[in-house]
Amino acid sequence: MWRLGHAAAVRRASPRSGLGARPSGMPPSLRLDRGPAMPRRRFLIALIALCASAGIARPAAADEIPVKSASLAIDEGELLLSAEFDVSLTPALEQALDKGVALYFTIEFELSRTRAFWFPQKQAEWSITYRVSYSALTRQYRVASGPLGQAFESLDDVERFIGHVASRPVAEAGELVKGASYEAAVRMKLDVNQLPKPFQVNALASREWQLASDWHRFSFTPT
């Protein structure tokens, strides 16, 4: 009896040791050492899900600019690109134009020669950027590329103009190998990096501030 009672007394008097101990007065909500610990992987997954629900995990997906057609032709020693994009500005971009914010749209083109058992070899690249603006004084839109510009009465006319590529020289035909296989790619996008800083932040959070097409790829063989 004495041994059993003595052992029980020792157990009651011994302080808790190791990670199980907590200072007196610490709220239970702050005790990170009690109960089963959440595995690190589950914690990271939960954190990513929380960020995604708050809209800060990744930039919003861009609205699409459909590519209606794209083709290449050789004429008078030049490789000519023709393409048609179905451009339609979002309401947020239209409002930005009305408030005097200029929008920059870029059309990019790449041409690569395909090679068996090796990586494609880039042959040519070309791009053009349009600056689209609106004047409340004249109630006209203006599209400029470099020093040249043109005025338009409606936004529909602007969208048709910047979405139309007609026989643009993109490479010298003499640099191409007749009968070889080439892969061409063309796309159009709103250059959000040229927006004013506050609008760049909007572009990260809202798809209405992003407008782009995927790369449209097609084959070409010079004859």
d(CA 181, CA 185): 14
Cα–Cα distance measured from residue 153 to residue 174, given in angstroms and rounded to the nearest whole number: 41
Q: Is residue 4 over pLDDT 50?
A: no
Least trusted range by pLDDT, from 18-32, 164-178, 184-198, 205-219: 18-32
Contact (CB, 8 A) for 55 and 205: yes
Structure tokens at 163: 């979405």
Q: Does the domain spanning 63-87+105-128+160-220 belong to CATH 2.102.10.10?
A: no
10-48 pLDDT, tens per residue? 344 444 444 444 444 444 443 444 444 445 555 444 544
Angle at 93 between CA 90 and CA 99, to 5 degrees: 145
pLDDT of residue 62: 59
**What residues does each domain of the chain span?**
63-87+105-128+160-220
Which residues of the chain form beta strands (DSSP E)? 63-64, 67-75, 78-85, 103-113, 121-135, 140-145, 148-152, 164-172, 182-190, 211-212, 216-220
The mean pLDDT value for 163-184 works out to 95
